[in-house]
Amino acid sequence: MEQIWAPWRMEYIRSEKSGECVFCTLPREERDEENFILYRGADFFIIMNIYPYNTGHLMVAPYRHVGCITRLDEKQRAEKSRLTHRTVEILRNCLNPEGFNIGINLGKAGGAGYEDHVHEHIVPRWTGDTNFMPVLADVKIHPEHLRSTYDRLRPHFKDA
């Protein structure tokens, strides 16, 4: 069995949490560039993960504070699906990943960092993107700064 280690995530795990839901507070601030929000739809928005597993790790989240996909109505499910598909297309064209991890962590036991606000992760992957650095040196190397990735992706989300 192959094991994948992600020790760089400890920065997030150990960081102090304000108790506020970032998926509720950040869109209300209307500071999209500062908060790495790439797109605003009718019921969902697309935001960069500031503790990414990889360059281009994005999330599709509803504005409404809802903890499970079963509480989304048909219109919301359709928008989430459309935005996920569009995000994959944009990431494929801009970053040329060899694959993707796409998923939703439901509940604390399911790995949800924000268990009361459902969100879908879209993580671009490249062969060898987990190498000896995070495994041996407890360091994750991101080849591009978050701001540079945001600036590169943002124009493609204007008409998502």
Cα 157 to Cα 73: distance, rounded to the nearest angstrom: 24
Write down the pTM of the prediction: 0.81
- The reply to whether 90 falls in a domain is yes
Place of tokens 């304000």: 18
- The reply to whether 59 falls in a domain is yes
Cα 157 to Cα 153: distance, rounded to the nearest angstrom: 7
Torsion sign (Cα): 52, 86, 117, 65: positive
Amino acid of residue 119: H
Q: Which domain holds residue 89?
A: 7-157
Decide if 65 is catalytic: no
In total, how many domains does the chain have? Answer: 1
pLDDT of 77-133, one tens digit each?
999 999 999 999 999 999 999 999 999 999 888 888 888 999 999 999 988 776 443
State the CB neighbour count (10 A cutoff) for residue 89. 12
Q: Which of 57, 117, 119, 121 is catalytic?
A: 119
Q: State the helix-helix crossing angle for 146-157 and 74-95, rounded to 10 degrees.
A: 120
Calculate mean pLDDT across residues 72-76: 98
Cα–Cα distances in angstroms (integers) from residue 132 to residues 80, 84, 94, in the given order: 35, 31, 26
Whole-number pLDDT of residue 17:
58
- The reply to whether 142 falls in a domain is yes
- The reply to whether 1 falls in a domain is no
- The reply to whether 2 falls in a domain is no
Cα 24 to Cα 45: distance, rounded to the nearest angstrom: 11
- Looking up residue 49, the CATH number of its domain turns out to be 3.30.428.10
- The reply to whether 30 falls in a domain is yes
